[in-house]
């Protein structure tokens, strides 16, 4: 598995330059963000992520439960990434509460929905609801940006409808395809008269 350091090295970037690290993450479609954990706090490394301790001149130790019956833990210096799971920090010790098991045996990237498939699935569910609301309030609606051309990763997407014209003066009945196309004039340049 590639690390940020190895990717930086491959591309000739300086790993210690934060802008390079962000660029590498974006190029690789990966995501990273820092979390600050204070003494005595529990913290989570989400599934599909790994954690790395960013602290100078201090060793951290991992406490792993070895014998549940005797409540016996072993302590070892953390030298590598922490897998996804639940942890607790106590001074210099990180107690492993739970490691999330990730089963890759049945993973098939061809079966994972891409963003367009997810948007279409969402639209098939909600466009009929928008049509019902439009009919109920006798008010047309329109969409703005086209949703059928989104093809990259999205962190947060807000999708909705806008009332069109005056309230109570007609309704809209859009198909899923019409909704996803959005405003047909979206990409045309604005012409002043």
- Asked, for residue 188, whether it belongs to a domain, the answer is no
Q: Are 141 and 134 in contact (CB under 8 A)?
A: yes
* pLDDT classification of 1: cutoffs 50, 70, 90: very low
pLDDT of residue 128 exceeding 50: yes
- pLDDT at position 110: 56
* pLDDT classification of 18: cutoffs 50, 70, 90: low
Annotate 67-97 with DSSP letters as a single string: ETTTTEEEEEE--SPBPSEEEEEETTEEEEE
Q: For residues 27 and 58, state if they share a domain.
A: no
Over the stretch 23-48, which tens digit does the pLDDT of each residue have?
A: 655 555 455 667 788 888 988 888 77
- pLDDT at position 31: 57
- Asked, for residue 23, whether it belongs to a domain, the answer is yes
- pLDDT at position 182: 82
Q: For residues 39 and 102, state if they share a domain.
A: yes
Q: For residues 19 and 44, state if they share a domain.
A: no
- Asked, for residue 156, whether it belongs to a domain, the answer is yes
Task: Name the E strands within 135-175.
Answer: 140-142, 162-164
Q: How many domains does the chain have?
A: 3
Q: For residues 45 and 19, state if they share a domain.
A: no
Question: Range with the lowest mean pLDDT among 79-83, 104-108, 124-128?
Answer: 104-108
> Which residue, 106, 140, 157, sits at the end of a domain?
106
Over the stretch 131-189, which tens digit does the pLDDT of each residue have?
A: 998 899 898 887 777 888 887 777 777 777 778 777 778 888 989 888 888 877 666 65
Cross-strand pairs, 141: 163
The H or E element spanning position 64 is strand 61-67
- Asked, for residue 163, whether it belongs to a domain, the answer is yes
Q: For residues 42 and 94, state if they share a domain.
A: yes
Counting Cα atoms < 13 Å in the Cβ hemisphere of 128 gives 5
Mind spelling out the 3-state secondary structure of 179-193?
HHHCCCCCCCCCCCC
For 25, the domain range is 1-32
Q: What is the pTM of this model?
A: 0.40
The H or E element spanning position 11 is helix 4-11
């Amino acid at each position: 598995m590639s690390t940020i350091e190895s990717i930086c090295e491959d591309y000739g970037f300086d790993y210690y330059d934060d802008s390079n690290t962000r660029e590498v993450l974006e190029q690789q479609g990966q995501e990273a963000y820092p979390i600050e954990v204070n003494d005595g706090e529990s913290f989570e490394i989400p599934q599909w992520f790994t954690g790395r301790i960013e602290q100078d001149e201090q060793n951290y130790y991992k406490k792993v439960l070895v014998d549940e019956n005797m409540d016996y833990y072993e302590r070892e210096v953390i030298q590598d990434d922490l897998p996804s799971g639940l942890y607790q920090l106590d001074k210099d010790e990180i107690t492993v509460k739970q490691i999330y098991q990730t089963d890759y045996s049945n993973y098939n990237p061809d079966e994972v929905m891409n963003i367009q498939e997810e948007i279409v699935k969402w639209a098939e569910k909600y466009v009929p609801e928008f049509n019902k609301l439009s009919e109920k309030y006798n008010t047309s609606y329109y969409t703005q940006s086209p949703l059928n051309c989104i093809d990259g990763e999205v962190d947060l997407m807000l999708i909705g409808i806008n009332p069109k014209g005056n309230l109570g003066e007609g309704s809209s009945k859009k198909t899923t395809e019409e909704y996803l196309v959005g405003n047909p004039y979206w990409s045309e340049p604005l012409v002043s008269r």
